[in-house]
Amino acid sequence: MRLIHIQKKVWSCGFHWRTFSRKPSMKEIHRIAKDELASQFDVFVRGDNIHVGFGKLPEDDKRLATALKSNSLISMLVKQENDFIGIFPLIDIYGEKFWWICCFQRGEISPLGDDICDSDDEIDSVLSQLKSATSIFDDSVHRFETPDASVSWITENLSFNYFELYRKKICRIYDKNKNIKNIALISIPIISISSIYGVYKYLEYRNSQIIKNAEIAFRLNEKKRKEEMMKNPGKYFLETWNTGPTSEQIWMYMQERIFPIQYVYNGWKIDKINISDYKIIVLWGHLNQGSYIHLPYNAKLKGSRNAETVINLKKDNSHREIKYTELPREDDVLRKFYQITQELYIHKFEPAKNGVKRSRVVKDGIELFSPWASGEWTLTGVPNQLFLDRAFPVFLDRIPGIVIKEIEFSGSEWTIKGVYHVLQ
């Protein structure tokens, strides 16, 4: 276990999680800790009703006392609705750096999804095990570069619900003082029944007040959180126009990977080119007496008359130079597109047929809508020479909020399809 400070509270990482079909009893938790986990853990913490995490306390007395006052970090994170693996560099309360691997599969805590690593080799090993065990793809893996970035994301997704904090506190699996307490009780000659009853009623009243206060704090906290979500819905939607490659970067891909390919090669001619989802597909048509032995660049046969070349592009947006902080109105976007179409002799620009629409997401039972709307656009009949001109993508990049989704060449002309994002 490692301990960290967030929002003036101590949190613990590094539990081994088990999932049950129903809420487990203390007897069942003791049995699993002893028989299945070989008594290697000292404490446990409840997640949701069916999740239990087992942890190993530090041997140092000072750290031991601090650990017993902490809460499990992963159990108090707001549930991630989709598959999620987070790699977080963090600094513990003693100034030591480590990496926390957090994993949710289909919104639930993964058994291996609360791990601690001290090196990149350990991270690669744990990540490999997680991917193998959960079948989670690379696009669900989120790696944070600095401890500040990690703490910022965790704070935004952390629940400070007092009732949940009380319910999910860390508990010892084995109470070392239990036998001593029993002996002390037996050795007392006379115990006043009325005193026991009075203490019982007092404790019952005190616990009821604690639960009542926790419920009040929970409702106030939930109300505040919902108001904050409604006030700033944008942070729950991805700004795709600032995360994907720019038009100029796409043109660079084409000039590096497509243009060097010969249009006609050994009796095969390019019939179609499609660029989408970080992949280039070149379809070749067979000409008279074309060679089946020496196919075009990295091509594979698709029947006797066709062949296909697939080129995978590296998904790397870390060097994106253009970032848009403000989106335009739809009218501004349309006017710029029509102007480009006219000046560059493009055959036709088609805006969104059914108008623009806002994205919708349900977060913790709250329906949120994106502050922007989006719609699909198409440029058809783009002249071939524009793809040799570096100025054309610069024109497109001057339109804030656009994303190119697909580029296709068929016959003698090009078609470009994408999405624009606008304010309403």
What are the boundaries of each domain within the chain?
Answer: 2-174, 176-231, 240-247+322-423, 250-312
Query: Does 132 or 91 have the greater pLDDT score?
Result: 91
Give pLDDT, residue 39.
60
Average confidence (pLDDT) over 207-218? 76
Give pLDDT, residue 175.
58
Q: Distance (Å, rounded) from C-alpha 133 to C-alpha 138?
A: 14
Give pLDDT, residue 225.
74
- Give how far Cα 302 sits from Cα of 127, 167, 273, 286, 365, Å: 37, 61, 15, 11, 49
* 306, β-bridge pairs: 285
Give pLDDT, residue 178.
45
Q: Distance (Å, rounded) from C-alpha 50 to C-alpha 109?
A: 10
pLDDT-above-70 percentage for the chain: 89
Average confidence (pLDDT) over 211-218? 75
Dmax over Cα atoms in the chain, in whole Å? 109
pLDDT higher than 90, residue 89: yes
pLDDT higher than 60, residue 147: yes
Q: Closest by alpha carbon to 90, among 114, 107, 106?
A: 114
Across the chain, mean pLDDT equals: 82
pLDDT higher than 90, residue 247: no
Task: Using pLDDT thresholds of 50, 70 and 90, give the confidence band for residue 188.
Answer: low
Give pLDDT, residue 180.
40
The correct answer on CATH 3.40.50 for the domain covering 240-247+322-423 is no
**pLDDT per residue as tens digits for the range 254-271:** 888 888 888 899 999 999
